[in-house]
Each structure stands twice: as structure tokens, then as C-alpha cells.
Structure 1
Amino acid sequence: MSSVTQQHADELTQGAIQLGVSLSPLQHSQLLAYLALLIKWNKAYNLTAVRNPDEMVSRHLLDSLSLVPFIDGDTWLDVGSGGGMPGIPLAILFPDKHFTLLDSNGKKTRFLTQVKLELKLANVQVINARVEALQPEQPFAGIVSRAFSSLADFANWTRHLGSQHSQWLAMKGLHPSDELQVLPSDFSLQAEHALAVPGCQGQRHLLILRRTL
């Protein structure tokens, strides 16, 4: 018996509709295959604090898919990707864009590499390194993080990975008003959105930052 149930499949279908995200049959099956791998590997690798598989559709898959309307540009970096959120779901949704998944934890990058292989995600690159050590040939069009760090640390640690044309997308729970007060002077808040994630009880916010210098 697969760890992924019909209930999970239905919840994904309904949640995507509520988010206004169109899933092809292939994308739907890839997202469920990713969920199955996450459930399986989480037992040994501690990939996510969410232990209950019944919470993973909303808190991982749908939470990641809530970013779909904000993904512009062709090259994206998921910083502190961990178990692959939001990078893996976004890579499934945007097969024509390239996603680099960065994490300093070797267990987590081994899992991400397995996901890439099993789901045949040719548009995913997995890097096991600290963010300060990453030196890309070109600036990323977008840099995303989910509960990675404070906004100031996110900006400071990834400043060298983008340009004035890049977008920084920070996924947060409660609105981080105090963190915005200490944003580095060369970053500005371009937009902020309250995200309504189906099945998610807590607050979710997206902050979009730009480099001004």
C-alpha cells in the first residue's frame, strides 16, 4: 500500500483549483510521487518537522504552489531547500525554467538528488554547499527561501547571487514587520502578499525584495 492515499490526491486536486494553479496529469502524478518520497525518507532523514503525511499536502505541496503567480524569469535558486520546498514543486510546475536547490546538509541534498533522478527533473540542479560559497556564472533571476532565516540574513547572505534585475522571494508565516525595519539599505520591499493556502491554518506571507544598488 502506497503511503500516498486517494485522499491526498483529491486534496492536491482541490487545493490547486482553489489556488488557480492548473496541473497536468503528469504534474499531478509527479507531485504525489514527490510526496511519497518525502514521507518515506522523512522517517530516517528528518527532512521536515511535519510528521503527519495528512498535513504534508497543504503545508508543503500547496504552500509551495502558492508561489506560482510570482515566478518570473528563467533561473531560480531555492536557498536552504531542505526537503525541496518550494523548489521541487515549482520545478515540476515550470519544466522550462531552471531551479538550483542549495542546502548545506548532505542528507538533505542526497534526498533532493534522489527526487531529481526518480522524477526525471532535468531542470533541477542540486548543490551541497553553504550559500556564501556559491559563485554562479550569472546572477539568478529569482532567489526564494522558505523559513530560511531573517530577512536581513537572507539579503546579506544571498546579495552576491542576484542583481538589480533579480527578485528575492521570502516565504514567511506571521508578517515580519520587525525584520523589515532592519532590512539592509541596498534592499527594498517591492511587494508583499498574504497567501491563502488551502488547508493551512496559520498565516502565510510572501515578501518580494529587490536590490537597489
Structure 2
Amino acid sequence: MTDDRAPGDEIDPALRTLDGDPLHGAAAVRDYFGDVYPRVLAFTEMLADQGVLRGLIGPRELTRVWERHILNSAAVVPFLGPGVTADVGSGAGLPGMVIAAMEPERSVVLIEPMERRVQWLLESARECGIENVTVLRGRAEEVRESVEADVITARAVASIDKLVKWCAPLLSEHGSMALLKGRSAADELERAKYALRKHHLAGEVLSAPTLEGLEPTTVVRLSR
């Protein structure tokens, strides 16, 4: 979700913080991320500082960055198999940058067609010390010759049938997809059955909890 504000518009620096987010600094968040918390924190603080300014998140989301964006993205990690992970339509770096921050040994490819978002991804990776990412500018269909992924992720990009059409050619022989979806995930999966059949994929809807008291994230896992 993005704001109507154009990138570069002046925003009060006092509003570009996580001070209003009740989860910021919470012990439960620190415990959830454990040793990787400093990297995740660095990215989260940079997203709060620059996200609205660059049109990556809306100003009303600053009070729930941890829940809505960071923990929501982190929820997919237990459902990722081993190997190279490609985040399609990475945008603000959700979930790709969060995955990379949490799993520094994993190679993560961030695929994003918009130049200003590519610059954001490059800058945030550099500033936050997240070194295990590669950023490619382009759509999934345009990077087929450059990417072979063992796992593909996507968040708020397109319907499942479209994602399968665009992304299945990027998968390795035994690759899988772990897509962050909303409450209509089961209906989307049903509508995608022909695309799944064509690409020899089977799908399941999974509940991905994070912190106690927060609504679980919905993950759609597609595998061969």
C-alpha cells in the first residue's frame, strides 16, 4: 500500500519515526528475532524514516510498521525451503529484505521493475549491512534468463494465477513458491487451479503465526 503523496514531498521529520508503534522496542519482538534483531531493526527504522517520503508506505502505517510489514513478512520464513530465494515485485523490500536480514546465509534476489524502488533496495541493503541480496531491475518475465530460484516469494503483487504464469519459469526443477496472501487466499487458489495444473504445481493455504495476540499471516505454498 502506498500514499498518494509524491516521492520527494516534504514530510515532518518528527513523523518519520517508530515512536507511535506499540511494538517498537518490545521484548516480544526482540525475542522473536533473536540474534538477527539488530539487522531487522536497522531496516525497520530506515523504512519508517524513508518509506513515506519515497511512497513505499502510507503515513498512517507508521504506527504499525512492525505488525503490518515486518512481522507479516517474517512469518513466511518457516515455509521457505533451502536455496536461492527470489522476491518478485519486491517494492519496499517486503518480504525480501526481511528474509535476507533474518537469514544472512541465504542468497536473496530482489526483483523490482521501478527504478526508484530499485535505488531504495540498494541503499537500504547497503545502509543496513544486509549483504546477501542481489537487486535486479525488471519484471519476472524479463529476468528469466538471469534467475533460477529454489523459492519464490511475493507480497501484494498480483493474484495467484498471474504470479504462477509470471514466476513458474524462474523456478528450479524442484522449486516452490511461498506467497503472502490475505483472507481470500483459498478462493484465489481455487481460481488458479488451471494455471497450477499447467505448471505442475500443487497449492495449500497455511496459517503463519508470529507474536501472541497478532492475527496470523496467510501463506500460500505452491510446490511440485
TM-score normalised per structure 2: 0.81
Measured against aligned partners, the alpha-carbon deviations of 1:40-70 in whole angstroms (never above 9, x if no partner) come to 2223211024633220001111111112211
Q: Does 1:72 align with 2:87?
A: no
- For 2:34, the equivalent position in structure 1 comes to 23
Equivalent residues in 2 for 1:1-213 (5 A)? 3-5=17-19, 8-11=23-26, 13-15=27-29, 17=31, 21-24=32-35, 27-49=36-58, 51-137=60-146, 139-183=148-192, 184=195, 185=197, 186-198=199-211, 200-201=214-215, 204-211=217-224
CA distance in 1, matches of 2:147, 2:91: 23
CA distance in 1, matches of 2:30, 2:75: 9
**One-letter amino acid matched to 2:219:** L
**One-letter amino acid matched to 2:176:** Q
CA distance in 2, matches of 1:72, 1:119: 25
Is 169-178 or 185-194 further displaced after alignment? 185-194
The answer as to whether partners of 2:154 and 2:178 remain within 8 angstroms in 1 is: yes
CA distance in 2, matches of 1:182, 1:111: 34
The answer as to whether partners of 2:80 and 2:178 remain within 8 angstroms in 1 is: no
Is 39-48 or 71-80 further displaced after alignment? 39-48
Q: Secondary structure at the match of 1:141?
A: strand
User: Aligned residues: percent identity?
Assistant: 23
Query: In structure 2, do the counterparts of structure 1 residues 71 and 139 end up closer, same or farther at CA, with 3 Å as the change threshold?
Result: same
Shift, 1:86, TM fit: 0.7
The answer as to whether partners of 1:135 and 1:161 remain within 8 angstroms in 2 is: yes
The answer as to whether partners of 1:74 and 1:96 remain within 8 angstroms in 2 is: no
**One-letter amino acid matched to 1:207:** V
Indicate the RMSD between aligned Cα atoms, in angstroms: 2.3
CA distance in 1, matches of 2:208, 2:148: 27
The answer as to whether partners of 1:189 and 1:207 remain within 8 angstroms in 2 is: no
Aligned residues: 204
Is 86-95 or 46-55 further displaced after alignment? 46-55
Q: List runs of 5+ in structure 1 lacking aligned partners.
A: none
TM-score normalised per structure 1: 0.85
**One-letter amino acid matched to 1:204:** T
The answer as to whether partners of 2:189 and 2:203 remain within 8 angstroms in 1 is: no
The answer as to whether partners of 2:84 and 2:150 remain within 8 angstroms in 1 is: yes
